[in-house]
Structures are given as C-alpha cells and as structure tokens.
Structure 1
Amino acid sequence: MNTLFRIHSEGRQLLLVLLIVLGLVTAVVFWQLPSWGWLAAAISLIFYLVILQFFRNPLRVVPQEDDTIIYAPADGKVVVIEETEETEYFKDKRLQVSIFMSPVNVHVNRNPIGGKVKYNAYHPGKYLVAWHPKSSTENERTTVVIDNGNTEILLRQIAGALAKRIKNYLKVGQSVRQGEDFGFIKFGSRVDLFLPLGTKLEVELNQKVKGNKTIIGRL
C-alpha cells in the first residue's frame, strides 16, 4: 500500500515529548482559565498534527528494480535542471536535477538506484534558503555516491532555512537496494542529483515528484 501512514523513527521521540508537553499545557489552561480550555486544546491538536505530518513515512516500493532507471529520491518539486560542474567528487560536468522539499512534503530520502556506496561525506555550512543558487555548495550538506556497477550517481542532501538536521544512514562500502530509505531531512529542504551527461530525463522544471514513484531519468 503506497498510502499506508507510518511515522518515521526520526520523529517518534519528539512526537511523544510534544504530546506530553501539549497535554500538560492544555490541562493547566483548563485548570487556571477554564473558559479558554477548549481553545487551547484545539490549538494544541492542530499544532501536533502539523508536526506529525512532517514525520510521515508512507510505505512505497519501486515498481521495478532496474539498473537503468533513476527514481526520485524525495518528494517535492523539481527546481533545477542544468548541466553543471560537480567539484566535490567527479570534478567534471554532470547533469544536475534538484528537488525542493517544502514543509508539507514527505521528508524521507530514498535510494534512486541500487549498488555500492563509494563515497559519503558530511559538510557543515550555512542555512540559506534551499532554492538559493549557492545552497548546494555553502549550506550544511551530505554527499553520497552510489555505483550500480555500470556508472555512478551523486546525491546531495542540503539543509535549508528551516531544516537544521540532516540524517544519513549510509556507509562507504555498503550495498544498497533501489528504493530503500537512505536518510531524512527534518522540516524540508533539498536533494540534488548529479547524473552522467546523456541521461535521458523524464521530468521537467517545476514538476512535482514522489520518491520511489516518479522516474527522474534513464541511464
């Protein structure tokens, strides 16, 4: 079921603490200001539901595992499609596709291809808005390279103005399956893909995509 509602492990502790705090605050308001109690309860419930949706983790299985297909690694909107110089790992020209995750998108990051992790590096940095041209090189970010046996692609998780915590579960030398979770960015941001020149893209600028469902391109 693609629509199954699950809570990601990154949010469970926070959600439990928040539930307790909001419950106590609402109880105090009912005790001290009874006439405001139901309003406080309504506000607490809405706030909790807003935070809850940040951590949803819908179960999605890729339609088919295929070495030539690149699936979207995140939910969001395509904000960059361009040929650019990738200076961290490849040090040559690549095709960049960037997906912006808004606060209402699913924040789970998934492997766009299967293979072996060849590179994984964390870089502290700024918190420019995710659509800023310099966010890819100046913001806090994590860079991962996956080799599927025929070619390598680079993924970059980028923190934004709201997203202040990137989680990445991959390790160099690890074998990964296409579609499995590889990370999480709390409260939205951006994921960049750097693909070989000549990749046949199947998305357009400003198109909305879904992780494990939308095909970004074919190798």
Structure 2
Amino acid sequence: MSIVDTVTKAMVPIHREGWPFIAISLVATLVVGWFVDPLFWIGLFITGWICYFFRDPKRVTPVGDGLVISPADGVVSHVGLVRPPQELEIGSEPLMRVSIFMNVFNCHVNRAPVGGKIERVAYRAGKFLNAELDKASEDNERNGLVIDTGEARIGVVQIAGLVARRIVCFVREGETITGGDRFGLIRFGSRLDVYFPAGTQPKVALGQTMIAGETILADLAQPQAPAQPLTRMS
C-alpha cells in the first residue's frame, strides 16, 4: 500500500456544511497572514480546528428490532421522566428522556435513533443558554422530530447551546429514514434529547459517553417497566 493510500484511508470525511466555514477561514488566513506572519499560523490552526469540528466519520449501526441508537456523540447529561415539548404533539404525559450533551470537541453530525417515517418536524426559536442546563430543553432554540417506527413513536430534539447559533435539519415530514442515517447538525456546542414511550428502560447512565449511530440507548423489544408518575416539573 502506498503512502497516498494510507493517508487517504486515515482521513476523516468532512461534512458538506463545513466547507463554507473552512473556505472563509482559509481565505482570511492567507490574506491576514500575508501582512502579519504570526497571524498566518494562528489562522491555520483555527482552520484545522474547523475541519476537525465538521468531521463526519463512518459509523456501523447495530441492527435489531426495537433498538434505539444514540443520535449524537457526547455525554449523557439526563435520564428520567419529563413532559415532552408541546410542538412534538406526542402527548402531555411524562415520557422517558435521555439527554446527550455535545461539547465543541464532539462530532456534531446527528443520526436517526430509529428507522421509520418522519411524522413531524417542528422548529421553535428560543434562547442560547448553556445546553447542559435542564431548562435549556424548554428555553433554547430547538428543532424536534417525531419518528414513527410502526410500533412506537420516538421524539428527537436538537437543542442549540451557548455557542451554537444554527440548527440544521436535512429531512422533511413524510420521508422515511433508516436508523443511523444522518438527519441534521448543530454548529458549535449543543444537545440532543430523545423521548421514549413511558416505561422504557434506558441502557445508559449519567456521564456515559455516547457514539452517534452506534451506542444503544434502549431496546423497545424487551419487556418494559410500568410507567411511573412524574416526580418533578421539567
């Protein structure tokens, strides 16, 4: 194998959403660096970081009836019963929610947790609080999806964070998606909330590291526990 082949295989693809930012940063680096040499190296570092942020690595998604897969890279910041956002229109009763916080070093390409028909896409403007805060689910800018698997309805909400200023969604209502498919992206730090049917037993814990498209959040095919009453307001 040649050196070129080795380097090519080692390179991680960059998502198309990142190329405009990379181009702007690179041009700015060349222009500024022409006049001030030290700024060229700083700009080159920033351009490299932008390339890293918009990386889009390949993932191998587990296959199985009832499996719900993590839609995001990051760390589990919440597991518990919460009333889902009204705009999802999946009822007002408490549902199991798993929240995944993505810092600026995580891959920010979001993947479908299950396969099925996209029943609803609902965007809501809002604030840009720290995405780790629980109230970010209510107050921050967000975009929600409801995916109907035929057996259950799963809610997925993209939430903008303190630094994020743009939520990107690639899918529309009525489309069919496969578990692990890319459905969106959030720029520069954010969070994903996944809402399961009441009684779902998550297979993850607080602080656990998630890999989008690979980590199993729950198995809906297994017997589920009876729904529990909500013990606090969300």
TM-score, normalised to structure 1, is 0.91
Contact 2:21 2:50 (8 Å CA) reproduced: no
Count of aligned positions: 209
Question: For structure 1, which segment, 132-141 or 108-117, has the greater mean C-alpha deviation from structure 2 after superposition?
Answer: 132-141
Letter aligned with residue 206 of structure 2: L
Q: Residue 50 of structure 1 aligns with which residue?
A: 49
Inter-CA distance 173–83: structure 2 relative to 1 (3 Å threshold): same
Which of 76, 82, 85 aligns to 1:84? It is 82
1:17 aligns with 2:24: yes
Going from structure 1 to structure 2, the CA distance change for 1:124 and 1:3 (only over 3 Å counts) comes to farther
1:41 Cα deviation (Å)? 2.9
Residues 3 and 155 (structure 1 numbering): CA distance in 2 closer, same or farther, change over 3 Å?
A: farther
Question: In the alignment, is the contact (CA less than 8 A) between 1:67 and 1:148 conserved in 2?
Answer: no
Secondary structure of the residue aligned to 1:216 is strand
Cα distance in structure 1, aligned partners of 2:187 and 2:140: 15
CA distance in 2, matches of 1:3, 1:124: 39
1:8 aligns with 2:25: no
The secondary structure found in structure 2 opposite 1:200 is coil
Give deviations 1:137-186, integer Å, cap 9, x for gaps. Answer: 11100011000000001000000110100001121111111110000000
The Cα of 1:213 is off from its aligned counterpart by 1.3
The residue identity in structure 2 corresponding to 1:99 is I
> 1:118 & 1:167 partners in 2: Cα distance?
18
Instruction: Return the alpha-carbon distance in structure 2 between the equivalents of residues 126 and 63 of structure 1.
Output: 35
Residue in 2 aligned with 1:186?
A: 187
Q: Is the 8 A contact 1:168 1:183 kept in 2?
A: yes
Aligned residue number for residue 32 of structure 1: none
Gaps of at least 5 residues in structure 1 are 30-36
Q: State the match for 2:101 in structure 1.
A: 100
Question: What do the CA deviations read for 1:91-139 (whole angstroms, capped 9, x no partner)?
Answer: 2110010000000000000000000011111000111110122111111
- Equivalent position SS for 1:190: strand
**Mapped partners of 1:45, 1:28: distance in 2:** 15
The reply on whether 1:70 has 2:68 as its aligned counterpart is yes
- Is 2:71–2:212's contact at 8 Å kept on the other side of the alignment? yes
Using the alignment, how far apart are the partners of 2:11 and 2:49 within structure 1?
A: 18
1:28 paired with 2:29, answer no
- In structure 2, the residue corresponding to 1:118 is in which secondary structure? strand
- Whether 2:155 is the aligned partner of 1:157: answer no
1:199 is aligned to: 200
- The answer to whether the Cα contact below 8 Å between 1:4 and 1:58 also exists between their aligned partners in 2 is no
Classify 1:3/1:181 alpha carbon distance in 2 versus 1 (closer, same or farther; 3 Å): farther
Q: Which amino acid in the other structure matches residue 27 of structure 1?
A: W
Query: Hey, what's the Cα distance between the residues in 2 that align with 1:200 and 1:134?
Result: 23
| Post-superposition CA distance 1:73-105 (Å, at most 9, x none) | 000000000111224122211001000000000
CA distance in 1, matches of 2:30, 2:130: 33
Structure 2: stretches of 5+ with no match in the other structure = 1-8, 221-234
Contact 1:145/1:152, CA 8 A, preserved across alignment: yes
User: Over the residues paired in the alignment, what is the CA RMSD in angstroms?
Assistant: 1.5
Question: Contact between 2:53 and 2:108, CA under 8 Å: does it hold in 1?
Answer: yes
Q: TM-score, normalised by structure 2?
A: 0.86
Q: CA deviation at 1:3?
A: 7.3
Q: Deviations over 1:45-66 (max 9, x none)?
A: 22111222110010113132x2
